[in-house]
Amino acid sequence: MPESYIKRILDARIYDVATETPLDVLGALSHRLHNRILLKREDLQPVFSFKIRGAYNKLLRLPAEQRARGVIAASAGNHAQGLAMGAAQLGVRATIVMPTTTPQIKVNAVRMRGAEVVLWGDSFDEAAAHAHRLVEERGLVPVHPYDDPDVIAGQGTVAMELLRQHSGRLDAVFIPVGGGGLAAGMAAYIKYVRPEVKVFAVEPEEAACLEAALAANTRVRLPQVGLFADGVAVAQIGSETFRVLRETVDGVITVSTDEMCAAIKDIFEGTRSIAEPAGAVGLAGLKKYIEQNRCSNAVLATVCSGANINFDRLRYISERTETGERREAVLAVTIPERPGSYLQFCRDLGDRAITEFNYRYANSGEAHIFVGVQVTADGDRRRTVEGLSAAGYSVTDLTDDEMAKLHIRHLVGGRAAGLENEVVYRFEFPERPGALRKFLEQLAGRWNITLFHYRNHGAAYGRVLVGLQVRPAERGELQALLQQLQFPFWDETDSPAYRFFLAS
């Protein structure tokens, strides 16, 4: 029974390596969502993840003979760092098998702490199978990342701290789930000490192994898992963790990649720290719960479970954040191919900010544009589409279209067959509401626009690439007009990049 974990959790003596992390109030997000939102900061552990708790607790419980043989684990990174640090503290030799897809920052951190790293396979399960072979070959002692009572008990100390730090009203706690160690340990403790508090497990839609197991009433193995949230990319819930979770959780919430990206931004704005995708899963589920249940004036807690993220992933996360917050509508809109049609489209949008505008000339009849529009929620997005349709535009909503967001937005364009007299200019203008519309108004619809690329990146200056059909005799007139715009601009008509990929 889950009650058996209470003594294990209370007896966990992990604090010579792990630290008691703060429970922060996310003030701005609480105000925006009309609920009090608490964030347990496990990203502030020495290894930037809660995993140090369970790994070290397991090492402490091993007999001296087993420690002398050395330990081994398969891990996507955070358990690896925790085990490596704990093993170094106790003078135990550690070997870590990591999937080849593990972020390099985690690989480097494990090696830095003195463990031997073996990179194997594309997933956790392939790495785990190889670790099992090494156990037999080398006589090493396995330390499972989640499916072990001592590991689960170590993770349960997160809940022990949380309930001690916040003894007042608490309506629900949202816990990220990969293999289930953190969720099992926390849920067992919370339901024993504060049974009135609801506990929700949160998983990525692409790795929802607990949801599948609960639906089938038995553990199932997912045929494949998404790797965006690599820290929770597990195909099958643990045996022991499932036994505990099926008795303790009140429900499972699944979240999308975009929702995780939005939660990463929320954590950054509230703490100035950058969570890894798995670290933001719990907050993404909390936000979804509020939206689906129209919840207000509740006290809700979650865990930022880790902050081990490769810096180069931030570009992708930033790109997906606005959609994840339901603050951006991504639309395909058909407008007439004639001078002034862009300006009219912007006017028909009214005061809505345009976040992206991609277009390349195709024919003389219709122009198909890829446009991002700032909205406040799904209802506002629907009203935007309805308003444009009522104005006579053909509109397709691509906000939930993965191919559009991942690929098409970067591929709109190419060479335009039969296009004559095209010139290409690059512009910068101060980024403020309505700036793009004012830019188009100053161009005055004098020439047909054949190419347009704009993306709002939150910088001080907006950057636009524009193609225009301008006869040679009119190019002096164009230059005079551009000088009057008082925006920095560059003639890119002879640019090698334009000649290679866009010129007809």
CATH number where 252 lies: 3.40.50.1100
Burial 123-147 (b: 16+ CB within 10 A, else e): bbbbbbebbeebeeeeebbbbbbbb
The dihedrals phi and psi of 65, each to the nearest 5 degrees, come to: -65, -40
**Extended strands (E) in 337-460:** 354-360, 366-374, 394-397, 422-430, 448-455
Residues 333 and 457 in one domain: yes
Query: Tell me, what amino acid is at 485?
Result: L
The dihedrals phi and psi of 36, each to the nearest 5 degrees, come to: -90, 120
d(CA 409, CA 392): 24
Residues 392 and 252 in one domain: no
Domain of 185?
Answer: 4-47+149-318
* Helices marked H in 331-434: 341-349, 378-390, 402-403, 409-411
The model's pTM: 0.78
Other CB atoms closer than 10 Å to residue 115's CB: what's the count?
A: 24
Token pair of 351 as six digits: 């005061």
Can you give the pLDDT at residue 24? Answer: 98
Specify whether the CB–CB gap between 42 and 21 falls below 8 A.
yes
**Extended strands (E) in 205-283:** 251-255
Can you give the pLDDT at residue 171? Answer: 98
Q: Say which residue the tokens 């709109």 belong to.
A: 412
Answer with the one of 318, 339, 354 that is the final residue of a domain. 318
Token pair of 229 as six digits: 């949230």
Per DSSP, 49 falls in state B
User: Hey, which residues are catalytic here?
Assistant: 51, 305
CA 158, 163, 165, 168 dihedral sign is positive
Residues 449 and 430 in one domain: yes
d(CA 359, CA 412): 6
Residues 332 and 311 in one domain: no
Element (H, E) at 118: strand 116-119
Residues 392 and 444 in one domain: yes
Residues 372 and 313 in one domain: no
d(CA 50, CA 318): 25
Residues 400 and 371 in one domain: yes
Residues 341 and 466 in one domain: yes
d(CA 132, CA 470): 68
pLDDT averaged per 10 residues, the chain (length 504): 86 96 98 97 96 97 96 88 95 92 80 93 82 94 95 98 97 97 98 97 96 97 86 92 97 95 95 96 98 96 93 81 79 85 84 80 76 85 90 88 69 72 84 70 77 68 82 91 82 80 70
d(CA 267, CA 262): 9
Residues 183 and 62 in one domain: no
Quick check: helix, strand or coil at residue 336?
strand
CATH of the domain at 464: 3.40.1020.10
Residues 407 and 430 in one domain: yes
Answer with the one of 266, 289, 318 that is the final residue of a domain. 318
Residues 464 and 353 in one domain: yes
Structural domain total, the chain: 3
Residues 207 and 301 in one domain: yes
Answer with the one of 114, 142, 170 that is the final residue of a domain. 142
Other CB atoms closer than 10 Å to residue 30's CB: what's the count?
A: 16
